[in-house]
Chains A and B, each alone.
Chain A
Amino acid sequence: MGDVTAGFLPAKLRDDFAPLALPDPPAFLDNACMTLKPRPVVDAVRAWYEETPVCGGRGVYDLSHEVARRVEAGRAALSRLVGAPSPGSVVWTKNCTEAINLVAHAFPFEKGDVVLTSDREHNSNLVPWQVAARRRGIRHEVLPSGPDGSFDLDALDRRLAAGDVRLVSVVHASNLDGATLPVNRIARLARAAGARTLVDGAQAAGHMRVDVEAMGADFYALSVHKMYGPTGVGALVAREEALASLDAFMTGGDTVAGVTYEGHRLLDGAGRFEAGLQNYASLVAVEPTVRYLESIGLEAIERHERAFTARVARALRDIEGVATLGERDPAKRGGVTAFGVAGLDPDEVAILLADRHGVLVRSGDHCAHAWFAARGVDGSVRASAGLYNGADDADRLVAAVAEAAAKGAEVAKGRA
């Protein structure tokens, strides 16, 4: 790595990630799926298993108190990191998908209410609304992108004017091409029209400065395992009145203030939605995750990812047979670069990159099948950078793609 002059983070950060310290480490570029975990996070998970492998907040003994203390420290830290209204506005889920489903199931919809999404949503912010339409009688509408492929604020404004939209649910940074939506303006327009806003922050949290309060979103969903944290942890961050408006989702142990054979009284606040024993091994590692990110700085991480993307974009432009997909402007697509190679299937490209160059990317529809189907595009190759991918990884990716492109031209002739 070593290139700190063009916005890249220092190479020594790589030492914090065990898989990158092995001989001949890969260029891991599938961070949009899951990031690698720094040692403090791994240590915290291991410590739970070795030192405090018990329930948090249930027993009266010290081990239980210690787990509860660490879990709540994680809640407070995550709240601070994303500008949540308060630690109590952070509901633990197992991932971003569950957080969105929580809203889809528990939001106080009335029959005929409209939920608007963009046309570049992950299946996790599309299928729950299709299911809610079938089960709850809401209407789900997709707002098409503008002619340049970006989010169309004017179209949103016009659609909101009808007065039947109850919720606008949009992605913050797209997993398919990294495009970042103007969520602050979207939330402002929605609020002015009396609608609430849910933002899918799976690709944004931990990769850029997020301030949910300043954004004005009512709900913000995220996955901690996409932000260098432990696997199996997500969160729904909600404004107090928005959280209070939600009905029960999953219920049972830990969600109730009192129960008789005849009925129950649900807890107020986040606890109402955290049913049953939690993923304590991972939850105790949230606070170290946040401390790690803060030690680097979210602005520095965002700058690093954009530097990576810019370097890759410049080089890919010169390779014949390679075309980038989605958002054209690399400055608007965070750490994600989506592309295709003429003559080769995206999966073929991904296998060649991994097998021959140790460059680990993702291929396929990236759980955004609808976007690809609507455009008649058969998937893409996606390289998504993390804070440990330096200029050397960018150059390794480009060299591998150049080889694939050359071979793709040969294959195309045979397939013609």
Chain B
Amino acid sequence: MDMDPAPRYSVLELCRNRAGYEAVPEKRMRLDLARVQATLERSGFTTLANAGIILVAKVGPVEMSVFESGKILVKTPYEDHARRAQAEFMKAMGWAT
């Protein structure tokens, strides 16, 4: 995977009735989602689907979608839940600072 060792993300709230959050890496990256899946599963994430260009996983009750671009969609109406799920993801990927 071609990536910054500790990429920085910004979090954006989505415009929806059923809210969600998008975490966007500040620098371009490209993820191999098969490797991301294996990495996340080792950290206790449950994989729901990996279609090659989108990986859908759960951490606790929260569902997240991971894209090759490194973008993450976290499906929760609560920003603190989204940030916690993102932090879990960063930790699993070894990007926690």
Contact = CB atoms under 8 A, between A and B. Distances in A.
A367 B51 contact: no
Given A410-B49, A413-B49, A414-B48, A348 B54 contact: yes
Nearest to A354: B69
B48 A415 contact: yes
Interface string B1-26: 00000000000001111101010000
Contact of A351 (B15, B16, B47, B69): B69
A165 B15 CA distance: 32
Interface in A360-404: 363-367, 369, 372-373, 378-379, 403
Contacts of A372: 17
Nearest to A123: B15
Contacts of A415: 48-49, 56
Contacts of B71: 351, 355
A379 B37 CA distance: 28
B16 A378 contact: yes
B73 interface: yes
A347 interface: yes
A345 interface: yes
Nearest to A378: B18
A331 B17 CA distance: 29
Nearest to B15: A364
A365 B16 CA distance: 5
Contact of B67 (A351, A363, A410, A412): A351
B65 interface: yes
Nearest to A369: B17
B68 interface: yes
B79 to A, nearest CB: 16
A379 to B, nearest CB: 5
B26 to A, nearest CB: 15
A410 B51 contact: yes
A347 B53 CA distance: 14
A227 B89 CA distance: 42
A378 B77 CA distance: 13
B72 to A, nearest CB: 10
A407 interface: yes
The binding surface of chain A is classed by DSSP as helix
B61 interface: no
B60 interface: no
B48 A407 contact: no
A131 interface: no
Interface in A68-86: none
Given A373-B17, A379-B16, A411 B73 contact: no
A352 interface: yes
Contact of B53 (A352, A365, A369, A379): A352
Contacts of A373: 17
A135 interface: no
Interface string A59-70: 000000000000
A12 interface: no
Given A345-B65, A351-B69, A364 B51 contact: no
A65 B44 CA distance: 69
Contacts of A365: 15-17
A366 B69 CA distance: 24
A158 interface: no
A366 B14 CA distance: 10
A411 B20 contact: no
A352 B49 contact: no
Contact of B69 (A347, A355, A403, A411): A355
A363 B14 CA distance: 9
A413 B51 CA distance: 10
A356 interface: yes
Nearest to B57: A414
15 contacts: A348-B73, A351-B67, A352-B53, A355-B67, A365-B15, A365-B17, A366-B15, A369-B16, A369-B17, A379-B16, A403-B53, A407-B52, A407-B53, A411-B49, A412-B49
